[in-house]
Structure 1
Amino acid sequence: RQILYWLGKNYTGLSLPQIGHRVGRRDHTSALWGIRKVQAIADRLNIEKPACPITATQLLWAAEWPKVSQ
């Protein structure tokens, strides 16, 4: 779900409330939390935003997800 939030922010023009609603009828704070979590992990693992959302998903899904405190 967090990867979906991140993809929504980076590859669509949707607002946080729209992203949250489309991912399980969540609110914007859930989307924001997920986006921050995934971005922190992407930054820590030096994963830059690929041009293709499928490639981004594959990279994030395959990554070792360390514990990241926020």
Structure 2
Amino acid sequence: MSSGERKYWYNTTSGEVEYGYMSPAVDRVGPFDTAAAAANALQTLRERSEAWAVEEAIDEDWRKATDVDGK
């Protein structure tokens, strides 16, 4: 049994928290250790997405600042 079968997932189609592999992978976000964490999946995804966008912007600014060839 894989670890995902004993975890919680958020179903993006139904908006429900599931335990184990109840729905197709394309409809699931996770895995999460608790049902509460799975219930907050969309907020967690938004926060991570915003953090990644900030990191990418910082990286891009750094690349521009260190580009000695002007390319």
Same fold (TM over 0.5): no
Structure showing greater Rg: 2
Higher strand share: 2
TM norm structure 1: 0.29
Task: Name the structure, 1 or 2, with higher relative contact order (CA <8 Å, separation 6+).
Answer: 1
TM norm structure 2: 0.29
Higher helix share: 1
